[in-house]
Structure 1
Amino acid sequence: MIMSRKLLFILVPLLLLIPPTVHAQEETVQVAEWTILVYMVADNNLESAGIEDVNEMEQVGSTEEVNIVVQMDRHKEYDTSNGDWTGTKRFYITQDSDTETITSVEVEDLNETNMGTQKALVSFVSWGVENYPAKRYMLILWDHGGSFWGVCYDEDDGEGDKDYINMSELKGAMEEVYGIVGRRIDILGFDACLMAETSVLYQVRDLSEIVLASGYSEPNDGWPYKEILEKLVQRPTMGGEDLAKIVVDEYVRSYTDRMDDPQDSPAVTMTAFNMRAYPKAAEAISHLAMELSTQVTLRSLQIWTARTRTTGYDLANIGPFDVTNYPLYDVVDFCDKLQQYIPFDNRIHDVIDEVKGAVAEAVIYAKADPYHPGAHGLTIYFPNRENPEGPVATVYDPLYSRLDFGREKFWDDFLKAYYNLKDIRDPPPTVTILSPQWNQSFQQPSNIVLSGEAFDLKEVRNVSVRVDGGKWVEIPGVRGPGTITWRYVISTENLPPGRHLLEVKATDSAGQSSPVVSTWVCVISPPKEREASGGLGTEISLLLIIFVAALITGAALLLKKR
């Protein structure tokens, strides 16, 4: 016993010397293949359609590999089924065979929530990503859509007013979603009318891998969720392009199969856009606008005829008129008609070919009903007047000029020249940033390679860059006619850690500057070297454990012998 007491006096102090090295066991989080986030603004006359769509989702339900979550806002008048609850609830969609009653798990009751805001959309995505992590995410904006005028129309914001998400808010929300996911979201889907418009896509060009959108107004039944989700659940490891193609196929099939529920529609399109390729399509459209703007007095009748005979996406498009005030026209079909009605202008034809080629690169997959062979999926705003004139005139909305596409590209300038029959003899240049990607991270020490293209009908004289609003720096040796490439290297050692604004502009031979374009990058500090004390402490801990274990073993053997 004397020996054992002495042993304790030796061992206890030694054990106390051992630094704590046991860490709390981290909880294992199940990461699904896909999380489908449905932002359902049914606080309007689409309330019944929303309930029907949730029931469609429930016919499939979530699995271990596919999470389906919905935030739904209901109206107080349009539908009294399902307990006639109002306000906003979050659901984790589970499988059942009841096609009328929502039985899924109600995860959260938010009471009346204004879902026509950037804040509400970001909050939903943040909650969904945190609680239902996945390798891939699809965000669906479900509601009325109004092209570049807005989406997600909430008839009761909680204070008796109406609200909706405008294009500035949409861009801001998707920038925040980028931060939540840590990258571009895999798919942004618009289960809403008229959202496949050039300027809408341009707002989110850097923020999603794929965008799904309809050119026409969607029927109230919207997407066929049962058929779409069945295929995803059967093959949950599919990539974004495969899922996008399923949405396109099933959506168009559901309205063209000559079967009830839903009833067929004479005007349906759905397009999946590759957003990494989309900026070049937008730039090519700008090139065409610049070329046309120099010839509007000569070509006005031909342009008018081409527009009149181009596939229009207004539900009551009659020749040059858009009775429901959605003057949206098919980009590729307009190009085809221009080539038809301006037959011998090789310069215009070359630019048209550029547009069609760039749009083809940006379209992953597109389908339309059989009645509109000229519907290729991408639309553009083309009202027939700048000022009111006649009962069915569609008047240019100045809002368009304030969008990213209106500010950075030349389409709106062409429209104004066309309306006023006044040529723009020497349009200013345009410039595009092709890399780095928006919000791309660079660890010190490294170089940021900023590159892109500049364009002028005559000659680009120079391209200049500035960082964080500082002085403009001209890139040496960048000059030439038409489209030129440019490149500028920025060392991260000259930038503090954090986000930095990079801006670019081009100047032509007449001294005209392009609109300034920009992107953001994030500079990260170099990894810290492991502190000597921390590393040494761990090694000492291990040695002490081995030493104490040896002592205990030796002492036990000694006691056994005694």
Structure 2
Amino acid sequence: MLFLFFLIAIPEWTVGCYFAADNGLDYAVLDDMNELTSVGSTPSVTVVIQVDRLGKAERYFAQKDSLVLLQEIGDINSGDPETLKEFGRWLGMYFSAEHYLLVVWDHGNGWEKKGICYEGSSFISIAGGEFREAIKSISSSLGKNIDVLLLDACLMQMVEVASEVYPFVDFMVGSEQLVPDFGFPYDKILLMLTSEPLVEIKAFSDSISSFYVQYCKKEGIDGQASSMKLVSFTNLLQSIKSLITLLRSDPQNSLIRSARDSVQTFNFATLPPPIPQNQYIDICHFAEIISEGDDEIASTAERVASLARTIMFSTHTGESLKNSRGLSVWFPYTYSEFLFNYLKYRKLVYAMTTEWEKFLFSYYGVPDTIPPMVPCPLPAEIFGNSYTIRWEASYDLTYISEYELEEIRDVQVVLQDGCEDFYNFDGEGFVVSAHLPHSGEGCFFTEGGWLVSKERFHKGSFSFFRHQRGGSLRILSSKDLVDWSEIAAFLDNTEWISETIDIDTESYVKIEFSGDNSWVYIDDISVLSFGDEEIVYRGMNNSYTVTDRPNGRYHYRVRAHDGSENMSEWSEILKVAITSYLSPYNYPNPFNEGTYIVYDIPEDGWLSIFTVSGNLAREFEVKKEHDHIFWDGRNEDGRNVASGIYICRLRSGNLSFLFKIACVR
């Protein structure tokens, strides 16, 4: 049942609460909803709630001492960014206001794969770029930036999270540490807003942090929260980038290591006290410690700390959090922790802007044995019978030394499988699932199992899409179904990703997955066979131009090398289709004893050679496609033609070409 509220005047504030509680937090969300109704909406403040609980979701209008049901929306997935976007569209359509407080409530995990809004039934959550796109969509639906974004979830007040949302949010409130089940005190927050609807937004945002910390103190728990003014965040990002550039030039500096050991950290699994081995540290406190030196690094670090203080209001209670400054960053204590997560991390706006993960890699001081990322092909630019092959610049933790481009001939599609049945594979533990296909209506899914191709594949490539949570995914090959060799292995990722693997010899292919509390989806399997291969380019450019190619299809693949002699896997196949035909030409030109005439035509045709006066000198029947003939310089009577210019006419179907050749005796 849906009730629409038509308001005579636009209220000063709309408070939109996105409560994702279908994950074991059902008991806690009821307390927070009671806190909201203890104050309720007023003419100046509209409070609406979308709550997802144990398989059902509902939308409410919060009034004093009661909830008015607006809509029953069934079993939704609050961990799907599209669900959060739809909530924003609903707010913008029915609850316009001068200002907006958006509450996103649930389990939180900072920037990492679980992000925020963890859906217990599907294991899906909103993280990284997905969260950015959702907040961007909500801002668009509201027609303005979100005034205050409150992340009532653990570990979310991170520089990585702020980097994703700062263009669309004015103030962001959250905690660097774990948030207890009681969360933020919505009664106090709402009471302030309803009492002072014209309150300065910064003062309101800062007060939310203070209310939470006071709540923690009352409950006897060490707590921390901060409010950050994101309209000035880009300056902080640039200062951090400058600091990282200097840190990368001297990553083994003893002051850096000392700072890492003594910096404020935030516990990942339990409430304080924190320990140095925690993966999240306070970046502002880290900068303060480094600024105690007397070099350029120290002065740049001081600028980071100073800028942070100008845009941040941070408060805490308890000795264990005394050095919290309001903004954390990922800094794994060990290289193995870094190695497990850096591939996902590099896709964050913060990483792309500052290259923080490259500093971390240099900090650990380990040999570079990590290959570059596989280059991603881009559509070719075709102009007539020439084209430019392009690919995205590859990623490496150090630097790319060169690209290697290979042309492949006689490429044939051996298999294209939509993974909606087991026609091409045998195995155990896999099922066809309609839950999360990459395309079509189904895909392979398993929490542990294997699949083996029913046929042997020729030399070529094996490609597929995967969406993996934890576990180990292995691809193996065998000539006889007895002795298996691993040809690739993959760890988890938070989105569908394409993988391409070389098949060096004729063999069967096996997909094998194992792990605890983990799963993988597999979709859109494609197998190609290759003929001859030739390296046509080596260099630093991520493009390559080919000229004067005849009508036909051409296939390439590219891989990247880094400065430590590591090499990526080959990319997906880059396909180029030339639909026009080359103009004919001859060589040598001019000629004496004879000349080769090269042509490119769709059908069998005729090549006629005329004198400049229009007399036919010689005529040839020519076969279709790209080929050549040899003219010995004689006419139809077998006599040598005289020196001079000759006009050639080539006809094939609807095509006709005219060109000149010269004979010099």
TM-score class, shorter = 0.5 to 0.7
Aligned mate of 1:309, from 244, 250, 262: 262
Match of 2:316 in 1: 368
Aligned mate of 2:42, from 63, 77, 85: 63
- CA offsets 1:504-547 (integer angstroms, 9 cap, x no match): xxxxxxxxxxxxxxxxxxxxxxxxxxxxxxxxxxxxxxxxxxxx
Aligned mate of 2:358, from 407, 410, 413: 413
Name stretches of at least 5 consecutive residues in structure 2 with no aligned partner: 1-5, 369-665
* Post-superposition offset of 1:198: 0.8
Contact 1:386–1:396 (Cα < 8 Å) also in 2: no
Aligned mate of 2:28, from 46, 49, 71: 49
Contact 1:384–1:395 (Cα < 8 Å) also in 2: no
Whole-angstrom CA distance in 2 between matches of 1:145 and 1:241 = 24
* Post-superposition offset of 1:28: 7.0
Contact 1:309–1:319 (Cα < 8 Å) also in 2: no
* Post-superposition offset of 1:367: 0.5
* Post-superposition offset of 1:239: 3.1
Whole-angstrom CA distance in 2 between matches of 1:355 and 1:134 = 36
Match of 2:80 in 1: 117
Whole-angstrom CA distance in 1 between matches of 2:33 and 2:25 = 12
Match of 2:17 in 1: 38
Q: What SS is found at the alignment partner of 1:387?
A: helix
Aligned mate of 1:232, from 174, 189, 193: 193
1:183 lines up with 2:144 in the alignment: yes
Contact 1:321–1:394 (Cα < 8 Å) also in 2: no
Match of 1:459 in 2: none
Whole-angstrom CA distance in 2 between matches of 1:196 and 1:218 = 11
Whole-angstrom CA distance in 2 between matches of 1:402 and 1:128 = 30
- CA offsets 1:389-409 (integer angstroms, 9 cap, x no match): xxxx99543211111111121
1:321 lines up with 2:277 in the alignment: yes
Query: Relative to 1, partners in 2 of residues 1:394 and 1:59: Cα closer, same or farther, differing over 3 Å?
Result: farther
Residues 272-291 of structure 1: matches in 2 within 5 Å?
A: 272-291=227-246
Choose 52-61 or 242-251, whichever is displaced more: 242-251
Whole-angstrom CA distance in 2 between matches of 1:73 and 1:384 = 36
Whole-angstrom CA distance in 1 between matches of 2:31 and 2:7 = 35
Whole-angstrom CA distance in 1 between matches of 2:204 and 2:108 = 22
Aligned mate of 1:167, from 107, 128, 150: 128
Whole-angstrom CA distance in 2 between matches of 1:402 and 1:43 = 28
1:212 lines up with 2:199 in the alignment: no
Query: Which protein has the bigger helix share?
Result: 1
Aligned mate of 2:101, from 138, 147, 161: 138
Contact 1:71–1:88 (Cα < 8 Å) also in 2: yes
Q: What RMSD in Å do the two structures reach over aligned CA positions?
A: 1.9
Whole-angstrom CA distance in 2 between matches of 1:232 and 1:56 = 14
Match of 2:626 in 1: none
Whole-angstrom CA distance in 1 between matches of 2:102 and 2:156 = 15
Specify the code of the residue in structure 1 equivalent to 2:72: D
Query: Relative to 1, partners in 2 of residues 1:220 and 1:28: Cα closer, same or farther, differing over 3 Å?
Result: closer
Aligned mate of 2:63, from 86, 89, 94: 94
Match of 2:120 in 1: 155
Whole-angstrom CA distance in 2 between matches of 1:269 and 1:279 = 24
Q: What SS is found at the alignment partner of 1:296?
A: coil
Query: Relative to 1, partners in 2 of residues 1:153 and 1:235: Cα closer, same or farther, differing over 3 Å?
Result: same
Q: What SS is found at the alignment partner of 1:32?
A: coil
1:403 lines up with 2:366 in the alignment: no
Contact 1:147–1:194 (Cα < 8 Å) also in 2: yes
Contact 2:174–2:209 (Cα < 8 Å) also in 1: no
- CA offsets 1:408-437 (integer angstroms, 9 cap, x no match): 2121111011112689xxxxxxxxxxxxxx
- CA offsets 1:112-150 (integer angstroms, 9 cap, x no match): 101111211111121122222211011110001110021
Contact 1:308–1:319 (Cα < 8 Å) also in 2: no
Whole-angstrom CA distance in 1 between matches of 2:274 and 2:128 = 28
1:245 lines up with 2:197 in the alignment: no
Query: Relative to 1, partners in 2 of residues 1:415 and 1:407: Cα closer, same or farther, differing over 3 Å?
Result: same
Match of 2:306 in 1: 357
Whole-angstrom CA distance in 2 between matches of 1:373 and 1:318 = 11
Match of 1:199 in 2: 160
Name stretches of at least 5 consecutive residues in structure 1 with no aligned partner: 1-26, 76-85, 97-102, 258-262, 424-562
Query: Which protein has the bigger strand share?
Result: 2
Whole-angstrom CA distance in 1 between matches of 2:262 and 2:339 = 16
Specify the code of the residue in structure 1 equivalent to 2:247: L
Whole-angstrom CA distance in 1 between matches of 2:345 and 2:83 = 25
Q: What SS is found at the alignment partner of 2:231?
A: coil
Whole-angstrom CA distance in 2 between matches of 1:395 and 1:111 = 37
Residues 441-452 of structure 1: matches in 2 within 5 Å?
A: none
Q: What SS is found at the alignment partner of 2:63?
A: coil
Q: What SS is found at the alignment partner of 2:266?
A: coil
* Post-superposition offset of 1:387: 2.4
Contact 2:342–2:357 (Cα < 8 Å) also in 1: no
Dislocated runs of 4+, deviation >4 Å: 315-319, 393-396
Give the share of equivalent positions with the same residue, in percent: 25
Specify the code of the residue in structure 2 equivalent to 1:46: L
Whole-angstrom CA distance in 2 between matches of 1:312 and 1:381 = 10
Whole-angstrom CA distance in 2 between matches of 1:226 and 1:140 = 14
Query: Relative to 1, partners in 2 of residues 1:278 and 1:182: Cα closer, same or farther, differing over 3 Å?
Result: same
Contact 2:241–2:353 (Cα < 8 Å) also in 1: no
Choose 312-321 or 351-360, whichever is displaced more: 312-321
Query: Relative to 1, partners in 2 of residues 1:346 and 1:302: Cα closer, same or farther, differing over 3 Å?
Result: closer
Match of 1:264 in 2: 220
Taking structure 1 as the reference length, the TM-score comes to 0.61
Contact 1:34–1:135 (Cα < 8 Å) also in 2: yes
* Post-superposition offset of 1:65: 0.9
* Post-superposition offset of 1:252: 0.5
Aligned mate of 2:333, from 376, 379, 384: 384
Specify the code of the residue in structure 2 equivalent to 1:270: A
Whole-angstrom CA distance in 2 between matches of 1:223 and 1:38 = 12
1:72 lines up with 2:25 in the alignment: no
Q: What SS is found at the alignment partner of 1:237?
A: coil
Q: What SS is found at the alignment partner of 1:397?
A: helix
Contact 1:138–1:186 (Cα < 8 Å) also in 2: yes
Match of 1:332 in 2: 284
Specify the code of the residue in structure 1 equivalent to 2:78: M
* Post-superposition offset of 1:244: 0.7
Contact 2:266–2:280 (Cα < 8 Å) also in 1: yes
Contact 2:265–2:276 (Cα < 8 Å) also in 1: no
* Post-superposition offset of 1:338: 2.0
Whole-angstrom CA distance in 2 between matches of 1:384 and 1:396 = 13
How many residues matched? 357
Query: Relative to 1, partners in 2 of residues 1:168 and 1:396: Cα closer, same or farther, differing over 3 Å?
Result: closer
Q: What SS is found at the alignment partner of 1:236?
A: coil
Choose 216-225 or 309-318, whichever is displaced more: 309-318
Specify the code of the residue in structure 2 equivalent to 1:412: E
Q: What SS is found at the alignment partner of 2:291?
A: helix
- CA offsets 1:340-371 (integer angstroms, 9 cap, x no match): 4xx3x3211110111112212221x2101131
* Post-superposition offset of 1:317: 6.6
Whole-angstrom CA distance in 1 between matches of 2:187 and 2:241 = 40
Query: Relative to 1, partners in 2 of residues 1:155 and 1:319: Cα closer, same or farther, differing over 3 Å?
Result: closer
Whole-angstrom CA distance in 2 between matches of 1:319 and 1:61 = 41
